[in-house]
Amino acid sequence: MTIPIQILTGNQQNFSRRTYREWLLLTSRIVVSRRYMFPGRRRKIHHHGNSRTTHQIKSHLLIQTHQSQHQTRKCPEKLTSISAGPGGQSSQTTRGYLSGCVSGEGVEVTYVSSESELFEQLVSVVRRHDPDILLGYDVTMMSWGYLIDRAAVLNSNLTNQISRTPHQPDQKPNVDRADSGSRTRPKSSSGGVQIPGRIVVSVWRLLRKELALTSYSFESTFFQVMHQRIPMFPFQTLTQWYENGTLAKRAEVVDYYMLRCHGNYQMLEKLNVIGRTSEFARLYGIEFENVLTRGSQYRVESMLLRLAKPANYIATSPSIQQRARMAALECLPLILEPESKFYSDPVLLLDFQSLYPSIVIGYNYCYTTCLGRLRNLVLHGNFTFGTTTLKFKAHVLKKVKDKVTISPNGVVFVDPTVRRGVMPRMLEEILSTRIMVKGSMKKHAADKALNRMLDARQMGLKLIANVTYGYTAASFSGRMPCVEVADSIVGKARETLERAIKLISATREWRARVVYGATDSVFVLLKGASKEEAFRIGREICDRVTADNPKPIKLKFEKVYYPCILQTKNRYCGYMYETPDQTEPVYDAKGIETVRRDTCPAVAKVLEKSLSLLFSTFDLSQVKSYVQRQLTKLLDGHVSLQDHILAKEYRGRGKYRPSACVPALELARRGVATDPRAEPRPGERVPYVVVYGHPGQPLIQLVRPPLEVAKDPTLRLNGVYYITKQVLPALDRALSLLGVDVYQWYRDLPRVIRAPLPAIQETGDRKLKVKTCSSNARLFTFVYLQGTLGQYFATVHCPICNELTNEGLCSSCRGNPQLVATVLSRQIHDIESAHHSVTMLCHSCTRTPDPSIPHQCVSLDCPVLYRRLHTHHTLQTLPNLTRLLDHTTLSKSP
DNA sequence: GCCCGGACCTAC
DNA sequence: TTAGGTAGGTCCGGGC
């Protein structure tokens, strides 16, 4: 029986079935030269005809550039004429090898005589390999974007030349884009750089979606993904090395960029991005590029319409006005107010598995099965429905009146016996396929490659299932929203959760109490139960609740917290057990500072350690002493700068209110003042630290880029700020629930001179700074000339006993030359060995063995950077110490 | 000192 | 010319 329910009308964007075939066509032609990607392996490449030795490999990307700017970031400057990789056949070019590269074997280098020739070579490389995908870490400002801008300055249209559909070669380049600057480029996965026929991927933008990190610098993401530290050198240094350095230095520059080019590829490979994207494209039936560039509505629509078309449905295509006029959503998901406290008994975490999709399937909720609101059915004529209207004949209603379900908010849907909805069918297929895929993953656990592909597939299925609800509820930007359907899903979910809670509370034998729940999860406290009992009861509850609901709605046993802290809605943490036989619990947290990116690592570390101590020992005194130790360290400045870096996302200059007072914006403004191209990319995370300033100075003025603080010894981390505004509030939110006042712990600390502020005195033409700081609760006064921290050791303090003196050694120590000799030798030895170990560490990363050159790597993640800077300062005291030692031994010998 | 809105980030 | 949703917590600055 077919009911003439006419709800999907109008025209719709045409999703072609051709897309997948096109995509296959694309990927099948992808050829990768191993030689190019792995410069170390010497494979001969013949560039003519079919004889070239190339490898067809599964993943498919080829040419990429990283930062091609050596000089400055201001505006596209002249490029130094180097092109790494296989060179061209042109007779004017010379070719050679640079040895001493990453591989030790060398990279083939083509030398050209002019910059325009360099571009010709680049174009020929691209054309020869004809890649589908062009990679770059930051495609907009550097890499391809930079090359395009630079080429435009030389009056050449690079985009056209490397595209797959080049226009006439004499066509005028698009001069606009060069000076309009990259700022105007839209935000997309290609960073706005578009090359017809090829997919341009901005690796940074891709990874931003992929991983939640506090920093998205190349070095940082590379470390997070590949677990390998790599250095970062400023452009000036690289330029210097390249232009004035030895051949080995030049090779290092080439190496540096090769590592980055290769690194981009390595990261994508490790994360299986290309494989996964291909899987998604296949799964959703959309093009490869659209997986990266389009949103979730596009995916849902692609799948939905494939099912709708054979069933003879046409989707509505409401206008903006129609969408705006649609009734507002009424139903809210259920979020209980948690009983905030520390729970020393087991707490079960149960949640409904894919609740929204399950409801759609279980109750047959769909655009095509909806009869509208119950109250409208008694009326005659059109009534509003979603973005359009709906009308029924009385006899139709009479026929189905016993075969309907009514959602909690009073919307009527017909049973599957009358008509199976498109959305339920789609989701059912998705969920059952996912279960199947998961099953075959288990079956083929040994086959790593297959497993990766299957995992990508099941992930894609899960994603699409979860966003299908969003599609119906997208009232702001939706292409086909429908309040009735969306509200019914949320309403039913709410009702389902409420019913489950009621059932749990009503069943006496479990002696369970629901202490928190949100949308699709319940937290059940089992007072006095053991861990094993908790698992048993948890399973019983899940079975009972599942049986109480239509298929495929299922309450799933997630984990047991024992013990745990519920702070507020969306914020909790605990020691987690996932199986009954698990003996060692795992710390698990949601929403609190240990998992948030808006606090610094130090806060996360202190909080996590404190909570772990509390959960494992139940002993607050241990927590207290730990916290106090950390606070003391912070006050004394004996902490790592890196742990105190805060990083916030920068939205772009125009995206803030004029009066907005945001560190990221402030630092961006300061940066732009010196270098217009130094503005952070929209979406980039801007790191900063807070330093000491004058009393009453607004916080925003105490914000500094970390490197500035690392280089300037007069700037000190604002320990008081970090303690009172970062560490203690976070601790307080967790521990106040146990009746602890962490601020009192802070006040209980032994009194030391806190928060010394550098006072500046003008003495003649040189700035003399007087700084006080506390160390081991003793107060020292350091007087030093700005910039040479090392001097005060020799001039102000006795290096043996630390007493104030201006004669090198204090009078009492001078009377004991043996002690002086011993202590000084020891100190010299310590400094030297510390310096040596730091140098070795540095060498292993940057391969710069020369300790005499100052540390060049400016990567914020560099573990050596701050230590090296520090030892560099102390190294300056060496001559003084040596002189003192010489003097002592000389005066002793006669 | 209180309240509010903006900014940011997270859970579901 | 591009977009799934809502709820929630915290910090900060400005207005009263």
Domain range for A857 is 788-892
Is A886 among the domain residues? yes
Q: Peptide bond before A687: cis, by omega within 30 degrees of 0?
A: no
Q: What is the DSSP string of A281-330?
A: HHHHT--HHHHHHS-HHHHHHHHHHHHHTTTT-------HHHHHHSPPP-
Mean pLDDT (whole number) for A885-891: 72
CB of A745 closer than 8 Å to CB of A624: yes
In the prediction, which pLDDT does A626 show? 94
Q: What is the total count of domains within chain A?
A: 2
In the prediction, which pLDDT does A754 show? 42
Domain boundary among A255, A273, A291: A273
Torsion of CA A621, A748, A598, A229, to 10 degrees: -70
Measured distance CA(A834)–CA(A823) in Å, rounded: 16
Most confidently modeled range among A12-21, A310-319, A556-565, A763-772:
A556-565
Statement: residue A735 has pLDDT above 80: yes
Is A59 among the domain residues? yes
Is A318 among the domain residues? no
* Tokens standing for residue A130: 């004809």
At A646, give phi and psi (nearest 5°). Answer: -100, 150
Summarised one tens digit per residue, pLDDT across range A178-216 is 333 433 444 456 667 888 889 999 898 888 888 888 888
Long-range contacts made by residues A169-172, C-beta under 8 angstroms, separation at least 24?
A: none
Torsion of CA A498, A499, A502, A504, to 10 degrees: -110
Domain boundary among A241, A273, A305: A273
Is A748 among the domain residues? no
| Banded pLDDT at A873 (limits 50, 70, 90) | low
d(CA A233, C1' C4) / Å: 41
| Banded pLDDT at A385 (limits 50, 70, 90) | confident
Q: Which nucleotide is nearest to A685 (CA to C1')?
A: B8
Asked if A497 CB < 7 A from strand B, the reply is no
d(CA A689, C1' C16) / Å: 33
Asked if A329 CB < 7 A from strand C, the reply is yes
Measured distance CA(A811)–CA(A809) in Å, rounded: 6
Asked if A683 CB < 7 A from strand C, the reply is no
Residues 286-315 of A with CB under 7 A from strand C: 293-298
What CATH number has the domain bearing residue A217?
3.30.420.10
| Banded pLDDT at A477 (limits 50, 70, 90) | confident
Statement: residue A822 has pLDDT above 80: yes
Statement: residue A765 has pLDDT above 50: no
Measured distance CA(A770)–CA(A392) in Å, rounded: 86
The secondary structure element, H or E, covering residue A342 is strand A341-343
| Banded pLDDT at A102 (limits 50, 70, 90) | very low
Q: What is the mean pLDDT of chain A?
A: 76
Statement: residue A523 has pLDDT above 50: yes
| Banded pLDDT at A544 (limits 50, 70, 90) | very high
Summarised one tens digit per residue, pLDDT across range A593-613 is 888 888 888 888 999 999 999
Asked if A600 CB < 7 A from strand B, the reply is no
Is A43 among the domain residues? yes
d(CA A466, C1' C7) / Å: 18
Statement: residue A441 has pLDDT above 50: yes
Nucleotides on chain C that have an atom closer than 7 A to a protein CB are 1-14
Domain boundary among A240, A273, A306: A273
Is A57 among the domain residues? yes
d(CA A570, C1' C8) / Å: 7
Measured distance CA(A707)–CA(A58) in Å, rounded: 41
| Banded pLDDT at A109 (limits 50, 70, 90) | confident
| Banded pLDDT at A547 (limits 50, 70, 90) | very high
Statement: residue A692 has pLDDT above 50: yes
Is A175 among the domain residues? yes
Statement: residue A527 has pLDDT above 50: yes
Is A468 among the domain residues? no
| Of the listed ranges A94-108, A121-135, A653-667, A832-846, the one predicted with least confidence | A94-108
Q: Which nucleotide is nearest to A335 (CA to C1')?
A: C7
In the prediction, which pLDDT does A795 show? 45
In the prediction, which pLDDT does A537 show? 94
Mean pLDDT (whole number) for A131-146: 87
| Banded pLDDT at A316 (limits 50, 70, 90) | confident
| Of the listed ranges A189-203, A520-534, A811-825, A877-891, the one predicted with least confidence | A877-891
At A51, give phi and psi (nearest 5°). Answer: -80, -5
Asked if A725 CB < 7 A from strand C, the reply is yes
Asked if A477 CB < 7 A from strand C, the reply is yes
In the prediction, which pLDDT does A541 show? 94
Q: Which nucleotide is nearest to A351 (CA to C1')?
A: B12
| Of the listed ranges A121-130, A151-160, A425-434, A632-641, the one predicted with least confidence | A632-641
